[in-house]
Structure 1
């Protein structure tokens, strides 16, 4: 087969071009994303119960929902978040379930409980959850009325944007929804003898259309409809009200009716001015880069349309996550290209043969391009993990190309013709190439079978490496030998480089330093092994200075500030805090823009995205800048402030680390949490530690006196509804205009929502109108805080942000402090958030590494036909980690998921170096040759290949060390350090191990000699 491809160059070329063309056609079809598209087995149920306290939602809604959802099969964990007015129950199922089926099952369970839920609660909304789903683009609209812009975005802009391919939805922040406001005057109501519920009934009785049936004649028929809905706001104001005492008056006599907007539910600011923000969320299969590009193309069109409606208004893009994705993608691709260039330069420096560099320059990119075809057909995307796989696989592609070229050059130097040299040279190193490729496959294939969410990440990485490795193998026995036969020559009169002398290597003489060290290993193998083991153990001590984390943060030119006003704060209070933060941030020249959102999950919550100038234009990192910013804003009154470099997390928390405190008694659990917060804030590496749930504010409670309620004949439900309508309002009825519906909001006028409210709220009873204050007592009590629950147990969540350190060391210090605490039975802590993913990743990669080790041993045993010498290679792999530990310490890299994957990749490359020498040496020994001369001959014959492949791989990974991405830096440190150590130990340790095992194999007891 090898001769077939060498002797039929056109056939070979067409065969290769098929894969290249398929790769080029596939690449444009692939989405470009930051992370792989994940299928989270999560379903959420959202409950909206306006006016309800968290404790009421918990008892009346959440507990019942949890019980029902717990009956759904394959449930892994159930978590609840209970706020004022709303709650969310999240069910996480075992990986591999059909999420659509589970969502339907959850909906069916909850639908069966509708009659048990409060009647004025909205129906629960059940949907699948993707914690990583975030807005792609935030569009700011400024210079126009918030109410008018809300309508424009809802009716016009969002329709145009959702029509773009890949867009799922558009959410609006900072707008004001139009509403017809009926502000009741309780004094006028009392004077006219009417209650709040009377007005509600009157609205419902008048504002309706009723189908009346049909009028039929002998010739035809027509439908009859009673049209009673309000036709104008004036008609609402002129609505006639009557009382049992005979009163008759207009609604405007007891209320002020205005065409206005709802109360502020949220707000937005951009660079210090109020705006409306339209956030564009992509669909699960959407391409963020394409969506952003299409939006930018159509922005002028949107701008023209906006200014026609609102002269002077302006549309602009405040944030665009696709920019970071594009920059990261371009950076990685440039790093790969630079790596290929460095590899070619190394090959040119060693061989002084420009033809060899051309061959490498064709063969390596061919595999990279063809890989897109298999990725596309596996539904993979171009993302951080697949690009990382390309960077990782580059070492194998380089190694295969260099081994084959150098082997062929050796055959040519021996006098063989190019065609024969290509065939014989390939055959000579075929076992080594197969071993390296086979090792990569058995090392990375287990990643495709990893469990958990992390497994979904790893499958794209692992299989991409496998695809590229197998393509490299295929082209190594087709394209490379064909190009060697047709193109590679030892000399070329037209090439000045070819006339120059090749790089000199140490001569294999008995007096050379290499020979002296080789002989020393033969004489004192145990001593050599002892020295190397001591060096290895010494290097491991450096790892205590190396941080560890799941995914390193990268300077994303962004800082996130989270502030909280006291519970119960008004919008005005929260906005004043935001204004102070904005003003104080102006002192930092690194700040390019600020985007503020107020009111997400409560008016007290303030989220500020601080956009920084590009990292190339500032001399301070985002982390250090965040630490400088914190003292300048930390003393703002009535504000609890957290700050972190980078984007806000999207998996339920905005912090680096989450610590959950469990326990049955709220007071004791909160006491434990308070103590933990104090202790954790004393750790130098911790920037801040705060409760996720705020301490509750005071609330006014009305306690009905049942004797009085019975005397007046008033039911609790009716009295409560009356109070709720007066304060919170009633918006059950709609006003229709031009095909749109707007809520009619009926409530007390704001000046009457005060301490004397209970005297002004009248309730209808069997004995006439009675003020609510006569039916019970009013007390001030501390309200229930937001509630977190996990598996039906309450918890207190502590959000921790880290300063200069990384997650691993900080988590270890916190755990040490927790271990020193005295814990009462039933009270305990668990880490959540990213640390949960880190633990899962470590466990799953550990399993994959164990399986890879077993498969690698089996493969090596088969290739070497020995059960002993795989241990020689295994020891070489282990000692290569010496260079890894040293370079990770020197470069400041952390032990993250990129480093873990690089460790796995390193195995295949180290195996290559050792197989090149050991496989032919073992064959020589088995044929009866002395083991010392056999191994020495092969070391000298393969020395150039080992040097070139190692240095080329190192050169190819150098761009990764220059990256600002911590994952790439870690991968570069592992690969470069490991390959350098492997290069050294191939010559300084492998012979000693070989001699020890060979002597052990041939050792016989005296009685058998």
Structure 2
């Protein structure tokens, strides 16, 4: 065998190559993303179509029945499930594993566009999401305070905390749950509408047209050009009182005359509670290319900085972690690594029990770290993550490696016992069974390739 002959005849070059491979393996291992589970792309899409204010029966009649059959015609789809909920419709689509999900997303979007004219005008634009197991929260946090109101911590979570977390590397989405959302309510008074002969549609049209910024043209000179914009965006709730709703000759009807303006909060659709006390929940989701452990560490570091600032500015306000997926992933991987090391140690003792030679056992044991560390180069080049599946694969490889090492080492020892010197015994012993050992290893690889 070429490798064994080269290693025996040029030991110094072989040692240098092994050290270089171990160094590259350690470098590759430091760059590996650490996740609890492998990144698996499930061939499926979920289509969500908001239809505000509609009952489940209306959603089924107006949306589901008109789209479902069209979605079944998408190439590669195997199953379609539909859901009619209060104010929304949902479709769960499953495809064959050979289907390109980018193409599938475009095809589903085109199918919905082709039947859009049949759907209600009040329906909002569909939201298409892929099935992605990685889109699970890496961290769940709870923001609570004894000195700030629920509205104040809601504003802090939405405007400050969420934006700060979104800027961290590897963070894809930050969801805020249980927060009060600011809402400006226009409460129309029926008697005033009748008195001034104003309809609801006129009020709605006035709000739309008089609360906007828009370009209206350009002024060109000989050497320069200036843009003209209509600046009509209302900056404060009090300014809504002055919106002109209707003109009757010289009389102007303003919004404050027919309605009252209230600066409050929208209806609460979700509540975040911890230990029986309401708070604001914050969920952090990682991007597909990011590591769960590294994202969790960076978020925890940012959380510590936020807590230090809150202690100075708002005593009694604290951001706590309720779930840490990074810590769970690291703990699971540590358990697998400990089992891997324990199994390797037991294997070494078994080798000694059968060979009854510390020299042979040491030579066999040295093949473990050199091979395993070098294997991380291939793991990194293939784009895999360090998860329990890759570690279990390494544990299986250790068993095959030890088996081959025992067979080769035992044959070399047999030649030495027959009177051959170490160099001759190594060359002849490896040449005798090298091809058989290689064939056995490649047979095992062939079984796992599919």
Contact 1:182 1:256 in 2 (8 A): yes
Cα distance in 1 for residues equivalent to 2:193 and 2:297:
58
How far has the Cα of 1:48 moved from its partner? 1.0
Residue by residue, what CA displacement relative to the aligned partner does 1:773-830 show, whole Å, maximum 9, x if unpaired? xxxxxxxxxxxxxxxxxxxxxxxxxxxxxxxxxxxxxxxxxxxxxxxxxxxxxxxxxx
Contact preservation (8 Å) 1:80, 1:88: yes
Q: 1:218 to 1:341 in 2, by over 3 A?
A: closer
Deviation of the 1:282 alpha carbon: 0.8
Q: Cα 1:348–1:222, aligned 2, differ >3 Å: closer, same or farther? A: closer
Change (3 A) 1:309 1:122: farther
Flag the structure with larger Rg: 1
Name the structure 2 match of 1:140.
Answer: 142
Matched-pair contact (CA < 8 Å) for 2:186–2:261: yes
- 1:368 and 1:122, CA in 2 relative to 1: closer, same or farther beyond 3 A? same
Contact 1:147 1:176 in 2 (8 A): yes
Equivalent residue number for residue 934 of structure 1:
none
- Preserved contact between residue 408 and residue 429 of structure 2 (Cα < 8 Å): yes
* Structure 2 segments unaligned to the other structure (5+ residues): none
Q: What's the C-alpha RMSD, in Å, of the aligned pairs?
A: 2.9
Residue 399 of structure 1 aligns with which residue? 403
Given the two structures, how large is their TM-score scaled by the length of structure 2? 0.88
Contact persistence 2:35–2:329 (CA under 8 A):
yes
> What pairs up with 1:128-527 in 2 under 5 angstroms?
128-143=130-145, 144-186=148-190, 189=193, 194-209=198-213, 211-214=215-218, 223-239=227-243, 241=245, 251-252=255-256, 254-306=258-310, 310-430=314-434, 432-445=436-449, 448=450
CA distance in 2 between counterparts of 1:93 and 1:378 reads 25
In structure 1, what is the equivalent of residue 66 of structure 2?
64
1:848-868 CA distances to partner (integer Å, 9 max, x unpaired)? Answer: xxxxxxxxxxxxxxxxxxxxx
Relative distance call for 1:205 and 1:332 in structure 2 (3 A) is: closer
Q: Is 2:143–2:317's contact at 8 Å kept on the other side of the alignment?
A: yes
Q: Measured at CA, do residues 309 and 264 of structure 1 come closer, stay the same or move farther in structure 2, by a change above 3 Å? A: farther
1:547-584 Cα distance to aligned partner (Å, 9 max, x none): xxxxxxxxxxxxxxxxxxxxxxxxxxxxxxxxxxxxxx
Distance in structure 2 (CA, Å) of the matches to 1:443 and 1:111: 46
Query: Which whole-Å deviations, capped at 9, do the CAs of 1:583-635 have from their partners, x for residues lacking one?
Result: xxxxxxxxxxxxxxxxxxxxxxxxxxxxxxxxxxxxxxxxxxxxxxxxxxxxx
Instruction: Give the corresponding residue for 1:111.
Output: 113
Matching of residues 783-822 of structure 1 within 5 Å: none
Deviation per residue, 1:672-699 (Å, 9 max, x gap): xxxxxxxxxxxxxxxxxxxxxxxxxxxx
Q: How does 1:992-1007 map to 2 (within 5 A)?
A: none
From 25, 29, 32, the counterpart of 2:31 = 29
Deviation track 1:317-364 (CA, whole Å, cap 9, x = no partner) reads 211111121111111111111111111222233444222222122112
CA 1:214–1:162: 2 relative to 1, 3 Å: closer
In the other structure, the counterpart of 2:127 is 125
**8 Å contact from structure 2 (residues 41, 131) kept in 1:** no
Deviation of 1:428 (Å) = 4.4
In the other structure, the counterpart of 1:595 is: none
Q: Deviations over 1:358-413 (max 9, x none)?
A: 21221122221111111211111111211111222222122112222233333333
- Deviates most, 147-156 or 289-298: 147-156
Per-residue Cα deviation, 1:523-546 (whole angstroms, up to 9, x for no partner) = xxxxxxxxxxxxxxxxxxxxxxxx
Residues 1:31 and 1:55: Cα distance change in structure 2 (over 3 Å) = same
Query: Do the aligned partners of residues 153 and 331 (structure 1) sit closer, same or farther apart at CA in structure 2, a change above 3 Å counting?
Result: same
- The structure-2 alpha-carbon separation of the partners of 1:230 and 1:294, relative to structure 1 and needing over 3 Å to count, comes to closer
SS in 1 for 2:38: coil
Q: Which has the higher contact order (CA 8 A, sep 6+)?
A: 2
Partner residue in 2 for 1:692: none
Within the alignment, does 1:96 sit opposite 2:98 as a pair? Answer: yes
Whole-angstrom distance in 2 between the partners of 1:212 and 1:439? 74
> 1:45: how far off?
2.5
Structure 1 residues 371 and 246, CA, compared in 2 at 3 Å: closer, same or farther?
same
Distance in 2 (CA, whole Å) between partners of 1:412 and 1:216 is 97
Contact 2:360 2:409 in 1 (8 A): yes
Q: Contact 2:39 / 2:133 at 8 angstroms: preserved in 1?
A: no
Preserved contact between residue 53 and residue 83 of structure 1 (Cα < 8 Å): yes
Q: Deviations for 1:931-963, whole angstroms, at most 9, x for unmatched residues?
A: xxxxxxxxxxxxxxxxxxxxxxxxxxxxxxxxx
